[in-house]
Amino acid sequence: MTELCDLTFAEARKALAAKEFSAVELNKAYLEAMEAARGLNAYVLETPEIALERAAESDARIARGEAGALEGLPLGVKDLYCTEGVRTTACSKILGDFTPPYESHVTSLMRSAGAVMLGKLNNDEFAMGSSNETSAFGTPVNPWRRKGSDAKLVAGGSSGGSSAAVAARICLGATATDTGGSIRQPAAFTGTVGVKPTYGRCSRWGIVAFASSLDQAGPIARDVRDAAILMGSMAGYDKRDSTSVDTPVPDYEAAVGRSVKGLRIGVPKEYRVDGMPAEIEKLWSQGAEQLKAAGAEIVEVSLPHTKYALPAYYIVAPAEASSNLARYDGVRYGARVAGRDITEMYENTRAAGFGSEVRRRIMIGAYVLSAGYYDAYYVRAQKVRTLIKQDFETVFAAGVDAILTPATPSAAFGVGEMANASPVEMYLNDVFTVTVNMAGLPGVSVPAGLSAEGLPLALQLIGRPFDEETLFATAAVIEDANGRFTADRWW
Amino acid sequence: MNAPSKIPASSKLIAGATGDWEIVIGLEIHAQVTSEAKLFSGSSTGFGASPNSHVSLVDAAMPGMLPVLNHECVRQAIRTGLGVKAQINLTSTFDRKNYFYPDLPQGYQISQYKSPIVGEGVVIVDMGEGEQISVGIERIHLEQDAGKSIHDQDPRLSFVDLNRSGVALMEIVSKPDMRSSDEAKAYVTKLRTILRYIGSCDGDMDKGNLRADVNVSVRKPGAPFGTRCEIKNVNSIRFIGQAIETEARRQIEILEDGGAIDQETRLFDPVKGETRAMRSKEEAHDYRYFPDPDLLPLVVEQSEVDELAAGLPELPDDKKARFIRDYGVTPYDAMVLTLERESADFFEQVAKRGDPKTAANWVINELFGRLNKDGTPITESPVSAAQLGGLVKLVADGTISGKIAKDLFEILWTEGGDPRELVESRGLKQVTDTGAIEKVVDEVIAANPDKVEQAKAKPTLAGWFVGQVMKASGGKANPQAVNDILKRKLGI
Amino acid sequence: MSVDENTVRRVARLARIAVADDEVSKLKGELDAILAFVEELSELDVEGVPPMTSVIPATARLRDDVVNDGEDAEKVLMNAPAREADFYVVPKVVE
Ligand SMILES: [Mg+2]
Ligand SMILES: [Zn+2]
C-alpha cells in the first residue's frame, strides 16, 4: 500500500473523487506506514480509531457529493494544537495527560474541510528549540541521512515531528507553528515545504502559546501545491483571537504556477553572513538565477537591522513566554508536584514539569521584564523590532515583491551533536528566519538542492503582509527548477 | 507630587503627644462594572452561582485561550469618566501584571497599567454646613477581578472558585486629597452615588462590588508627605473610616516613639479593630508589567464618547443645584434627596403635585424615616409618589391639618387608596366653618368655668383650651380658627 | 551585563521554579551567555523609535456584552489534578 502514501494531496484528492480507492483505504495505508516508522519518533500519540472513524465519514460525504477541500486526507497535528478529547501536551511533562474539551480554531477549520487526523506530532517542548531535542517525548529522527552514514539526524525544530512525518510520508501534510523559524527550518532540514503565514492570518485560538506576538500557525507539506491547499483550509478570521485579521482567504492553490514575470525579487546583502558555507551561497545565487530565468527581476536590497533581529528575539520571545507559561501551575490541569505550602507546590511543579530549555527561557524572560531592566531590555528590543519592520517596509515600498534568502545556515545536524553547544549557538539556527516573525511577515521555505553530504538545503522567500500568493508563485518556480527531494526509506 | 496645600481646619487634625498631626488619605476604589458578561470572555457575571459555573475556558486560562474585550465594559468606563468630569483617553492599552496566586488562573492580571482609558477628573464632596472639598481623580482603568479562595473549609487546603475570575473592574484612583476619615467616607459615598446614577456599578458593598484600598500617611501640618501604608480590600464605608483612624493612630504612635513607617501593605481586622501587615510582604513585589500581546491597543472614537456623554443622566451635582434653584429646598435637603437617583425622581414626582418645600419635608422626614426603619428600598415604597403628592397637596391647600396628614400617611402605608377619597370617606377634612367651631368652643367654655377664670388671669392657659377643642373635633378643626375664636370668647 | 547567583535565585523565585543549589552556577553561566548575546542591541541608537505594540496595524476587537459561555463546571474542572466537589483544591493559602 505504500504507493498510496506516495501520492500528493492533489493526486490523492483526485483519486478519492474518482473513487479509485476509499478514504478508509488511504488512511489505513498511512496507519500501517506510521506503525512501520515508529522508530522515527515523529508521532507522540497515534489516533487510529479517530482516523478510521473520520475516514469513514469522509467516504460517506464523498459518496453524497459533499466532499470538502481536504476530504479524507490523512494529516498529522503538531502537539501544540489543542484537539478535543485527544491528549495535548506541547511535549511538556507539565501538561501531564491534559485532554482539552475543545478544538483549536485551525484544526476545526481543517476538520470541517474533511481532513482526517492520524495523530499528534512531536515538537520541542512548548515550541522552544531548533532541533526538537527539548521534547519530553524524545527527539524525532530525520528521514534523511548523510551519504554513507547511518548517524541519526535531527528533523529541525520546533516542528520536527511535523517535518519528519511529512518527509517520511507517514502523513500527507501536517500542521506546524512558527515563532522564530519553527516551520521553515524543519522544512528546510527535511526537503519539505513550510509556510509561515502573515501574523494574524491563522487564528491562534486553541494553540498552546509560546510568544503571542510572534506565534503563527502554518503547514508543512510535500510540495508547494500541497502547502497552498493546506494553507487555504488553515487560514481564516476568528473573532475569538483579537489578533486574527478579517480579510478574505484567497485561492492559494491558484497562485501555484502563476507567472513571476516582472516581479522584483530582493536579495538582501546583510544575509551574506560571515562563515556562510559555500554551498549555501551557491544555492542562493542559483535560486536567484532560476527566478530571473522565469522572468523576475533580481535586485540587491538592504535590511540594515538584520543582525539585531536574533538578539531582540531572545528578549521578546522569552519575555512573552515567561508570562504565557505562568498558567502552568498545577492547579487547574496538568501535573502537580506537592510542596509544604502553595509556593513550594508551584516551585516543585514547575521545576519538575518544565525541561531545562524552557526553564532557562522563562528565567531570561522574567529577568528582562523585572524592575530596573525592563526599559534596557524589553522596551529596547521592541524598538529594534520597529526598526526591523521598517527595513522591510522600505524595501517593499521601493517596489520589491518578495525577498529571497537562504532558509538555514546549514543542513540538518546530528542528534546530540549540539549537546555541548551553548544555547546561543543553537539559537543561530534561526538567524535567517527570525526577522520574518519579528516583522509579522509571511515566509516560505522551499527545497532547492542537496548538500555535498546529500542532505536537503532550502531557500526562503519573504513576502509583503498578506501576500502569501506571491510566495507560492515564486516558490513554485524554485521547486520546478530543482525538482522534489525524497528521502530513501531505511526505517 | 508634594503639595503642602493649605493647613486644614484644626477639627481635622489628630492631637498627639508632640502636637497635631494631619492625616493624608488617597483611595483606590475597585468598582465592579455592571455588565452581563466578563471583561474578556462570554461567561456570566451573575452573583451567587454554584462554584466554577460562571467560568469559561478563557477564565480558567486553559492552554491556547485568548481574551476578547467586552465593548460594554469599555462604554461603562467612559461613562464613569464623564461622570467625574475626567479626560477620556481615546487610545489606551492593556498590560499584564504578573504574579502567582491560586485564584489568578493566567498567572497575570490584565490591567491598564501604562495607559488607562480615563485620566484626571474631580469629585466634589459635601461635608455639611456648606463645606465642600474637591477630591482629584488620578485615573480610572479597566482590569480583571480574581477568583475566590476559600480558606476555612479544611485545615490544610484552600478551595478555589473562579466565578469572579475575569469580571470587569474599574479601578478608580484618587489623589491624596482627603484629610480625615469623614472626608474619605463622604468621598466614597459620593462616588458610589455617581456610579449608581450612571449605572456603571451597583455599588453593592455587601457583595464586594465596591471595595477600597486605602492609602494612609500622617505628617505634621504643612510638612511633606509621610511614608504611606496601603490597607487592602476594605469593604464597607464604616470600615474605611475605622481603618483610617486605626492606621493613623498606629503611625503617629510609631513616629512619636522616634520610629519610622515601613511602606507596606496591611489588612484591616474589624473584629480586633487593628491593621496588620500582610504576610506576603517579605516577597518584594515585582509584577513585571508589559503590554499584553494578545490584545491590540484600544481605540475609541470621539463620536462614541460624545454619544455616551449625550446619553448620561443628570448627575447628582447638577440635580442638587437644580433642586435648590427650582424647588427652593435647602442645600442639605437637596443633598439628601439626590443621594440616590430613585429618591430624587420620587421627590420630583411628589413635588410636581404639591408644594415642593412641604414635599421635601415629607419625603425626607416621613417617607425616608419609615423606609429606613423597615429596611425597604424606595423602589418598593408602599406609598407611591402619586399618593404622597396627593397628601402634600391636601396639606398645602389646607384641606387637612399636619396631624391628620400623619394619620392619612399611616392609612396610605398600610391600606393604600387615593388620598382625596380617603379624606372624603373618612371625614378627615379640616373644619374651617367658624359656626361649627364656635359651637364646640362654647361647649368647652361652658364645661370648664374654673379654667376660664384662670385663663383670663394667665393667657398662656389658652393653649389648654385649644387642645380640648381640637380633641372634641377629632383633630379636624382648623387650629388657627380655633385660636382666634377662643381668644375672642375668653377676652384675652 | 552579567548576573550574580543571588539574582539567579531571585529570578527563579519570581518565576516559581525551584532551583537546587548546585544548579545555580550553571544557570548563572547560561544566563550570562544569553545576556552577553543580546548586549549587541545596546550599540543601536533607538532614541525616538516607538516600541512595537502590534506587528499588524490593527486595534482592539470588541465583543458584544452577551453571555454565551461558561455554565459547564465539569468542562473546566475535568483536568484538575485535585478537586473537592466543584472546587479546585490547593495547599492552604495563608494571608
Ligand atoms: Mg491597588
Ligand atoms: Zn486594581
| Domains in chain A: ranges and CATH | 2-259+445-482 (3.90.1300.10)
The number of C-alpha atoms within 13 Å of B268 and in the hemisphere containing its C-beta is 29
Contacts of B166 (CB under 8 A, 6+ apart): B38, B39, B40, B41, B43, B56, B58, B59, B144, B145
Same domain, B361 and B256: no
Look at C17 and A351 and tell me if their CB atoms are within 8 Å.
yes
Ligand 1 centroid from CA A315, angstroms: 29
Look at B54 and C71 and tell me if their CB atoms are within 8 Å.
yes
The catalytic residue among A92, A108, A158, A233 is A158
Look at B57 and C76 and tell me if their CB atoms are within 8 Å.
yes
Same domain, B340 and B301: no
Residues lying with their CB under 5 A of ligand 2, a single-atom ion: B 171
Look at B151 and C94 and tell me if their CB atoms are within 8 Å.
yes
pLDDT in tens, A49-101: 999 999 999 999 999 999 999 999 999 999 999 999 999 999 999 999 999 99
Same domain, B322 and B381: yes
Q: Is A292 labeled as catalytic in the residue annotation?
A: no
Specify the pairing of strand A297-301 against strand A264-268: parallel
Rounded to a whole number of angstroms, the distance from the CA of C79 to the nearest CA of chain A is: 5
Same domain, B405 and B450: no
Q: Is the C-alpha dihedral spanning B414, B420, B426, B430 positive or negative?
A: positive
Q: Does C15 touch chain B (CB under 8 A)?
A: no
Same domain, B383 and B407: yes
Look at C89 and B62 and tell me if their CB atoms are within 8 Å.
no
C-alpha cell at B472: 372634641
Q: How far apart are CA A476 and CA A485, in angstroms?
A: 14
pLDDT at B7: 58
Same domain, B414 and B460: no
pLDDT in tens, B297-307: 999 999 999 99
The catalytic residue among A108, A130, A182, A244 is A182
Look at C71 and B44 and tell me if their CB atoms are within 8 Å.
yes
Q: How far apart are CA A423 and CA A359, in angstroms?
A: 12
In a domain, B3, yes or no: no
For C71, the closest chain B residue by CA position comes to B53
Chain C residues close to A465, C-beta within 8 Å: 56
Q: How far apart are CA B70 and CA B38, in angstroms?
A: 7
Q: Is A78 labeled as catalytic in the residue annotation?
A: yes
pLDDT at A428: 86
**Chain C contact partners (≥3 CB pairs within 8 A):** A, B
pLDDT in tens, A148-165: 999 999 999 999 999 999
Ligand nearest to the CA of B143: 2
Of B62, B108, B295, the CB nearest to A323: B108
CA–centroid distance for B318 within its chain: 16
pLDDT at B2: 42
Q: Is the peptide bond before A158 cis (omega within 30 degrees of 0)?
A: yes
pLDDT at B402: 84
pLDDT at B282: 47
pLDDT at B463: 83
Look at B63 and A100 and tell me if their CB atoms are within 8 Å.
yes
The DSSP 8-state label assigned to residue B150 in this structure reads E
Residue A2 has pLDDT above 60, yes or no: no
Q: Give start and end residues of each alpha helix (H) in C1-95.
A: 5-14, 21-38, 73-77
Instruction: Return the SS3 of B33.
Output: coil
In a domain, B329, yes or no: yes
Chain C residues close to A315, C-beta within 8 Å: 38, 41
Compute the C-alpha angle B258/B264/B268, nearest 5°. Answer: 100
Of C14, C46, C93, the CB nearest to A384: C46
pLDDT in tens, chain C (95 residues): 689 999 999 999 999 999 999 999 999 999 999 999 999 999 999 999 999 988 988 889 999 999 999 999 999 999 999 999 999 999 999 76
Same domain, B328 and B217: no
Contact (CB, 8 A) for B399 and B358: no
pLDDT in tens, A430-453: 999 999 999 999 999 999 999 999
Rounded to a whole number of angstroms, the distance from the CA of A293 to the nearest CA of chain B is: 43
Query: What CATH number corresponds to the domain at position B462?
Result: 1.10.10.410
Contacts 24+ apart (CB under 8 A), B150-158: B150/C87, B151/C92, B151/C93, B151/C94, B151/C95, B153/C84, B154/C84, B154/C92, B155/C92, B156/C91, B156/C92, B157/C84, B157/C89, B157/C90, B157/C91, B157/C92, B158/A342, B158/B102, B158/C89, B158/C90, B158/C91, B158/C92, B158/C93
pLDDT in tens, A304-329: 999 999 999 999 999 999 999 999 99
Look at C53 and B93 and tell me if their CB atoms are within 8 Å.
yes
CB atoms within 10 A of CB B370: 16
Contact (CB, 8 A) for A59 and A25: no
Q: Which helix (H) or strand (E) holds A305?
A: none
pLDDT at A117: 98
Rounded to two decimals, the pTM is 0.93
Q: Which domain holds residue B349?
A: 314-425
The DSSP 8-state label assigned to residue B430 in this structure reads P
Residues 27-46 of C with CB under 8 A from A: 27, 30-31, 33-35, 37-42, 44, 46
C-alpha cell at B399: 384641606
Residue of C13, C88, C89, C90 for testing the chain B interface, max B β-carbons within 10 Å? C88
Instruction: Return the SS3 of A226.
Output: helix
Contact (CB, 8 A) for A154 and A188: no
pLDDT in tens, A234-246: 999 999 999 999 9
pLDDT at B454: 85
Of A308, A339, A346, the CB nearest to C41: A308
What total of structural domains would you count in chain B?
A: 3
Q: How far apart are CA A218 and CA A187, in angstroms?
A: 11
Ligand 2 centroid from CA B443, angstroms: 76
Q: Does C25 touch chain A (CB under 8 A)?
A: no
Q: How far apart are CA A280 and CA B51, in angstroms?
A: 60
Burial A319-352 (b: 16+ CB within 10 A, else e): bbbbbbbbbbbbbbbbbbbebeebbebbbbbbbe
Residues lying with their CB under 5 A of ligand 1, a single-atom ion: B 28, 213
Q: What's phi and psi for B209, nearest 5 deg?
A: -80, -10
Contacts of B373 (CB under 8 A, 6+ apart): none
Same domain, B120 and B259: yes
Instruction: Return the SS3 of A17.
Output: helix
C-alpha cell at B185: 467616607
Rounded to a whole number of angstroms, the distance from the CA of B92 to the nearest CA of chain C is: 10
Final residue belonging to a domain, choices B307, B328, B356: B307
Ligand nearest to the CA of B32: 2
Contacts of B220 (CB under 8 A, 6+ apart): B19, B20, B21, B22
Ligand 2 centroid from CA A371, angstroms: 19
Q: What percent of chain B has pLDDT over 70?
A: 97
Instruction: State the average pLDDT for chain B.
Output: 92
Final residue belonging to a domain, choices B307, B330, B345: B307
Helices C21-38, A309-324: crossing angle, 10 deg rounding: 140
Residue A466 has pLDDT above 80, yes or no: yes
Q: Is A158 labeled as catalytic in the residue annotation?
A: yes
pLDDT at B283: 55
Of B53, B68, B291, the CB nearest to C70: B53
Contact (CB, 8 A) for B200 and B74: no
Of A326, A330, A424, the CB nearest to C34: A424
Contacts of B286 (CB under 8 A, 6+ apart): A370, A371, C14
The DSSP 8-state label assigned to residue B39 in this structure reads S
For B156, the closest chain C residue by CA position comes to C92
Same domain, B268 and B379: no
- Over the Cα atoms of chain A, what is R_g? 21
In a domain, B97, yes or no: yes
Rounded to a whole number of angstroms, the distance from the CA of C18 to the nearest CA of chain B is: 14
Contacts of A422 (CB under 8 A, 6+ apart): C30, C33
In a domain, B50, yes or no: yes
Chain C residues close to A308, C-beta within 8 Å: 40-41, 44
Contacts of B317 (CB under 8 A, 6+ apart): B124
For A314, the closest chain C residue by CA position comes to C38
Ligand nearest to the CA of B140: 2
The catalytic residue among A28, A58, A78, A322 is A78
Q: What percent of chain A has pLDDT over 90?
A: 96
Rounded to a whole number of angstroms, the distance from the CA of C21 to the nearest CA of chain B is: 20
Final residue belonging to a domain, choices B307, B333, B358: B307
Of B62, B66, B96, the CB nearest to A100: B62
pLDDT at B280: 59
Q: How far apart are CA B479 and CA B483, in angstroms?
A: 6
Ligand 2 centroid from CA B118, angstroms: 14
Look at C88 and A332 and tell me if their CB atoms are within 8 Å.
yes
Same domain, B73 and B138: yes
Rounded to a whole number of angstroms, the distance from the CA of A353 to the nearest CA of chain B is: 15
Q: Does B241 touch chain A (CB under 8 A)?
A: no
Same domain, B98 and B215: yes
Residue C76: C-alpha distances to residues A84, A332, B45, B163, C81 (Å): 13, 8, 17, 11, 12
Residues with pLDDT less than 50, chain B: 1-5, 281-282
Ligand 1 centroid from CA B375, angstroms: 33
Q: Give start and end residues of each alpha helix (H) in B257-364.
A: 302-310, 316-322, 331-337, 341-353, 356-361
Same domain, B92 and B239: yes
**Chain B contact partners (≥3 CB pairs within 8 A):** A, C
Look at A326 and B107 and tell me if their CB atoms are within 8 Å.
yes
Ligand 1 centroid from CA A202, angstroms: 37
Q: Does C66 touch chain A (CB under 8 A)?
A: no
Look at C63 and B54 and tell me if their CB atoms are within 8 Å.
no
**ipTM greater than 0.95:** yes
Residue A274 has pLDDT above 90, yes or no: no
Look at B68 and A342 and tell me if their CB atoms are within 8 Å.
no
